[in-house]
Amino acid sequence: MRRYVLVSIITLAVVSARGAAPNGPTIEQFLSPAYPQDLVSAKKADRIAWWSYERGRRNVFAAAAPDYRPVKLTNFPDDNGVEIGDLEISDAGDVVTFVRGTAPNRDGWVANPTSDPRGADRTVWAARTSGGGAWKLGEGSAPVLSPDGRTVAYAKDGQIYRYVVGGPERPAPHLSVLERGPQRAAPHLSTEKPLVKAWGANGSMKWSPDGTKLAFVSDRGDHSFVGVYDVRTKDVAFLSPGVDHDSSPTWSPDSTRVAFVRIVMENSRLCAMTGIITFSSSCPASAAAVTVTSFPSTWKQT
């Protein structure tokens, strides 16, 4: 009898607790707010962009001064685990680009969260910050948007390609794969030559502020170069190439000089970090670079 009464009391308490739940906070309320990520801002306009994670769905938004009212730029309605990253915005704030899909693993496979039998891909997308939907440019990774928002340089199979952004009403021409339509692909494929084709794995691109040059890193395994591609002359110059590891190119505000890091290696071990090196883009490719900053000697190893 006592056991029956005890069970009845516990049951009544559970039912009462469930009935009182709507009056308090719920798990859904805690998980519902969107989580904004990767905030970027335009250099010449009061406009920002970000992508948001809300109930498993990932979408890109933009907002402009003075009220910064969010404008939804994409419509990806499914909770499918497909990531968004590499968000960039043009200097004028009128165009954003981003990547959908995870980075390939060491075997070259992109994560397929839904086990889609067609496989998964990593694609570059673009959208106007005024709204109107996003459109797919094609496959690629590590895209960098030009300052004027007209061109996207990206790496594929160790080479550097580009897309012309265009728009959803007029599919964009480009130098590799073309897929049309706002948030949908077209059956037409077109293969062209890379923008920069060089031995090794080329990437880590960086546009000059004026958009006339593209710095990049050419990894040759046991050494690497920093190169500059001139959009107008279609020439490539490697900046003071040697047998060391050069990386992290950065442009001066006036687009005339490049700074990068040179790491000296000996017997596959770090020997010294020689400093930040600048190179004037107005000098011939054979000109020597100038070390303007040296790291502390305590960084050196033997």
List pLDDT tens digits, range 113-153. 888 888 888 899 999 998 888 999 988 888 999 999 999 99
| CA separation for the pair 143, 132 (Å, rounded) | 22
> Per-residue pLDDT tens for 17-66?
444 445 788 887 777 788 888 999 999 999 999 999 888 889 999 999 99
Task: Tally the domains of the chain.
Answer: 2
Domain boundary among 161, 176, 195: 195
User: 58 and 122: one domain?
Assistant: yes
Domain boundary among 169, 195, 221: 195
Band of pLDDT at residue 67, cut at 50, 70 and 90: very high
pLDDT over 70 at 290, yes or no: no
Band of pLDDT at residue 182, cut at 50, 70 and 90: very low
Let me know: does 218 contact 227? Beta carbons within 8 Å.
Answer: yes
| CA separation for the pair 169, 195 (Å, rounded) | 25
Q: Which domain holds residue 254?
A: 203-302
Task: Flag whether 2 is in a domain.
Answer: no
pLDDT over 50 at 14, yes or no: no
Beta strands in 47-94 (DSSP E): 47-54, 57-64, 71-72, 84-89
User: 145 and 292: one domain?
Assistant: no
Task: Flag whether 119 is in a domain.
Answer: yes
Strands 269-280 and 224-230: unpaired
Report the amino acid identity of residue 182: P
What order of strands is seen across the sheet that includes strand 47-54?
35-41, 47-54, 57-64, 71-72
Domain boundary among 150, 168, 195: 195
The secondary element (H helix, E strand) that includes residue 3 is: helix 2-20
Closest CA to 195 of 145, 148, 160: 160
Let me know: does 246 contact 265? Beta carbons within 8 Å.
Answer: no
User: 165 and 44: one domain?
Assistant: yes
121 Cβ contact list (under 8 Å, min separation 6): 101, 110, 139
User: 271 and 179: one domain?
Assistant: no
Closest CA to 51 of 102, 104, 100, 113: 100
User: 291 and 242: one domain?
Assistant: yes
User: 98 and 157: one domain?
Assistant: yes
User: 49 and 104: one domain?
Assistant: yes
